[in-house]
Amino acid sequence: MEMFKKCLTNKITPEYSTELKKFACTLLFYSTPAYKFIRESFNNTLPHPQTVRRWFSKVNFSPGINKSILINIKNMIESERSKDKELQFGMQVDEMSLKKEIEFKHGEWYGLVDIGGSNNTDKSEDASYALVFMLVCLNGHFKIPIAYYFVRSLSGEARANILKELLITLHENGISDVRSITFDGAATNSAMVSYLGANIKSINEDCFFEHPGTQEPVYVPDACHALKLVRNTFHKFLIYDRENNVIRWSHLLNLVEIQEREEFHPATKIRRRHVCFQNEKMKVKLAAQVLSESVAKALLYMEKRLPNQFSGASSTSIFCQTFNDCFDILNSRRPCGKNVFQKAITRENIVELEKKVFDFIEYIKSLRILEGNTIKPILESSRKIGFLGIIVGMQSVLKISNYLFTNNLITYVLTYKFSQDHLETFFSSIRKMGGFCNNPTCYQFKSSYKKLVSHVNDINVSNANCIPQDDTSILQIKKQKEEMDLQNLLNAACDHDYDGMKGWAWNEYRLDIVTYIAGFIVKTLQKTNHCKMCLDTLQSKEKKCELINLKNRKFNKFNDERHISGLIFPSEDVIIVCKIAEQVLRNTNNVFAKNKILDFLIITARKQILPLHLFKQLDLAVSKRVLSDHKFELINQILKKYFTIRLQHKSKSLRDTIPRIRTHFNRLVVFKNQ
């Protein structure tokens, strides 16, 4: 309303209300061009962008602990305390690579080592990294980077001193409830907490150190980096379980090769990039999708269907399932859930979780590894860090939860709050603000940090290669309704452009996959098709598909609970439609070169399906108009959904064959501080 009043009265005043300032800051943060457009449209009633930036220039965002942020957090704690709620926090620590470049800006040098005004470091050195500390609220919905330092290299002892000073400063400002420290597996980080008193090299001792201000325990959980290390060990070494069964990476290679050869996958996300991950080692997603429940069940299924190729795959399946459940415990994001491992830790389920965690730890302790010519316990080998990290992480989150429940400080614990993802996404935002350059200098890091914390962003079009010289705009082309050339499609469908299915025949594996897809299609149609007669013909009471039976059950080494999921068994008619659709797709040449491929495939398949007189229950539902025939429409819906799924899979499979080198070379540049 304030903007409209100023626009109508043509009265521009230098004073702005708090609401208008907040609106201006938010709009400028998301889009500078949009801000300028609205400002011009409303007769310059909004402040100039430079004025908005000047509002924040008085706030100090230099390296070190940010006093303004501390005051805001303290006020928030006092506000929540008045409502009988004590805010609890976890802390994340990580480094971000920077471009080495010394700059002289606004009368100051940027690019040199700066640890917040301390005189203990030679500041003539150029900085290589930004060491950032972030607070994440465990029983709230906010996170904030509270301190950063420009460093070249810091020993574990120096990092411990910085962390200790930070915790004391937080305590002095009323922020005492820091319950955890999360960091990656770098040796200097391990040394950092070791100097403070934590023992992270033994599973028999508590992995914590005392808070220097409150003397309360501060635990050290970690998950994502440990999971990647487990995957790397699994990839390079033979692992043996308690029964002396071999856990083999080759089972995953065989699974991927069969998926690529058959152009079908048994409801897994594992692809070629997951087993050839060397150029993408940093991606946690790839490790989590390898050590997953879907892969574990797929291996059990393949062991039953192809026992010669997958002999002994059950031990590999148990290995994947175990670390899937461990990671679920360390990555819970929802208060509720069907799976006991994927929901938050509460007073009601913590005892059950402690029993499961004990079983998981005993399993990991029983694993042995072939290192050189010697088989030794995995926790005594040189590859123990990842396995030890998983154990320490599970023990830590349970002890934190017990402490918080005992002192009535929290109702449930979401373990994802301890993840380093919060800090990694902050780093992604910093890099994103650099536009084409994803490796900022110290000056650019400080500027981006200030804008993100203050919600100010400035992307000026004048920074582009050229600027507009007049008001010429791009002509917009109105969308014309495209007429379908039905006759040409029919002619194409009659002109059999087939290879014939040479060397290809239905087997149990292929039939199970098509049946699984058909079940997914039925589940989808149940949400969109509201005709009861049609829906009654889609589902079957017979449970013949081995893959769906396996997916619908959850059995593992430590959990005899039977968990039924929502997978559906399709009727025989739906399976026949999908089988014909698959045959048509495999018979069709040059799928990627055909125009209107979806319409072509549907018409071709429908010509073969209609004479079969499927869905006989719907014969009475035929109306006078053929296009309103329930059977006709239902077949169309099934075919469209099936071909869409398979064509999307084909395009993704084609993309997966391309070697992924972008991430590898990008990391090489970033880590070289270029």
Mean pLDDT of 621-639: 70
Mean pLDDT of 636-653: 89
Whose CA is closest to 240, among 167, 315, 182, 307?
315
Token pair for residue 89? 């926090």
Higher pLDDT, 555 or 579: 579
Look at residue 615 and give its three-state secondary structure.
Answer: coil
Task: Write phi, then psi, for 234 (nearest 5 degrees).
Answer: -60, -35
Indicate whether 576 pLDDT > 50: yes
Give the pLDDT of residue 342. Answer: 87
Q: 10 falls in which pLDDT band (50, 70, 90)?
A: low
* Pairing verdict, β 208-210 and 108-110: unpaired
Torsion of CA 427, 432, 436, 437, to 10 degrees: -20
Indicate whether 120 pLDDT > 80: no
Q: Which helix (H) or strand (E) holds 246?
A: strand 246-247
Side-chain-facing half-sphere of 530: CA atoms under 13 Å: 0
User: How far apart are alpha carbons 63 and 133 in whole angstroms?
Assistant: 11
Higher pLDDT, 491 or 220: 220
Secondary structure in 3-state letters for 357-418: HHHHHHHHHHCEEEECCEEEEHHHCCCCHHHHHHHHHHHHHHHHHHHHHHCCCCCEECHHHH
Task: Write phi, then psi, for 464 (nearest 5 degrees).
Answer: -75, 180
Look at residue 476 and give its three-state secondary structure.
Answer: coil
* Pairing verdict, β 368-371 and 345-346: unpaired
Mean pLDDT of 567-594: 87
- Supply the mean pLDDT for the chain: 82
Q: 119 falls in which pLDDT band (50, 70, 90)?
A: very low
Mean pLDDT of 496-522: 77
Q: 433 falls in which pLDDT band (50, 70, 90)?
A: confident
Residues with Cβ within 8 Å of residue 94, at least 6 apart in sequence: 131, 132, 183, 184, 420, 423, 424, 427
Indicate whether 646 pLDDT > 50: yes
Give the pLDDT of residue 354. Answer: 94
Give the pLDDT of residue 479. Answer: 40
Q: Which helix (H) or strand (E) holds 488?
A: helix 486-494
What's the full length of the chain, in residues?
Answer: 674
Indicate whether 102 pLDDT > 80: yes
Q: 235 falls in which pLDDT band (50, 70, 90)?
A: very high
Give the pLDDT of residue 7. Answer: 60
Q: 115 falls in which pLDDT band (50, 70, 90)?
A: confident
Token pair for residue 644? 């869409």
Token pair for residue 513? 């996959």
The 10s digit of each residue's pLDDT in 479-506 is 444 455 555 555 555 555 544 455 568 8
Whose CA is closest to 632, among 645, 619, 641, 648?
619
Look at residue 518 and give its three-state secondary structure.
Answer: helix
Token pair for residue 37? 């457009």
Give the pLDDT of residue 252. Answer: 95
Eight-class DSSP state of 483: P
Give the pLDDT of residue 101. Answer: 86
Eight-class DSSP state of 672: T
Residue with tokens 């398979």: 646
- Give the range among 169-173, 281-285, 563-567, 616-620 with minimum mean pLDDT: 563-567
